[in-house]
Amino acid sequence: MPASVRSDLEHIFRAAYPRVVGVAARVLGSRDEAEDVAQETFLSFGRTNVPAGEAVGWLCAAAAHTALNHLRSGRRRVSREEAASDRVEVSPDVAEAVVTKDEHQRVRAALSRLPRKQAVALVLRHSGLSYAEVAAALDLSPASVGTTVRRAESALREELNRHASSR
C-alpha cells in the first residue's frame, strides 16, 4: 500500500467489505458491479481521515451514492441496449431469464428516480444499518429516518406498480 493510505485500512476493509458490497448490490442488482463499487469506495476511504468509529457509516453511504451514480450513468446505456434487444427475437428457453432481468431493471430504474436522500436512506436501512447509523450517515435526526425510509418505500412501490400496470 502507498504510504499515503491510512494504516487501519486493512482492518476496516476486512470487517466492513461484505457489508459495503451488500449496500452496492442492493442498488445495482449485480454482485460484480457491486464489488467494483466497493473497491472504488475503499480506495477513496483509504485517502481520508474519517475516524475509524465512523468508518462503516461513511463507507456504506459512499457506496450507496457511488452505486446510484453508476446506476444513473448506466441508464442511458441500458436504454440503448434495450432498444437494440427489441429488434432481436427472444427464444423461449431464455424467456425466464429475460423476465428476471426485466424485473431487476425496473427496480433499479425506479430506485434511480427517487430523491437522492430517500434512495440512500432506503438502501442503508435495508442493508441492516440501524436508525442511529442511517441518521449519522445522512445527517438526519433518528426520528426522521423512519419518515424518509417510509416515503422512499411508498414512492418505490408506486413506481413499481405504475410500471407493472402500464405493461
Q: With respect to another protein, which residue has the nearer C-beta, 89 or 137?
A: 137
**Residue whose grid cell is 425496473:** 106
Q: Which of residues 49-68 bind another protein (CB under 8 A)?
A: 50, 58, 61-63, 65-66, 68
Q: Judged by CB under 8 A, does residue 157 bind another protein?
A: yes
Q: Which stretch binds another protein (CB under 8 A): 27-35, 80-88, 89-97?
A: 27-35
Q: Judged by CB under 8 A, does residue 100 bind another protein?
A: no
Q: Judged by CB under 8 A, does residue 143 bind another protein?
A: yes
Q: Judged by CB under 8 A, does residue 80 bind another protein?
A: no
Instruction: In whole angstroms, give the CA distance from residue 62 to residue 144.
Output: 20
Which grid cell is 82?
A: 434495450
Q: Judged by CB under 8 A, does residue 3 bind another protein?
A: no
Q: Which of 38, 55, 56, 124 binds another protein (CB under 8 A)?
A: 38
Q: Which of 14, 53, 89, 97 binds another protein (CB under 8 A)?
A: 14
Q: With respect to another protein, which residue has the nearer C-beta, 92 or 126?
A: 126
CB of 88 to another protein, least distance (A): 24
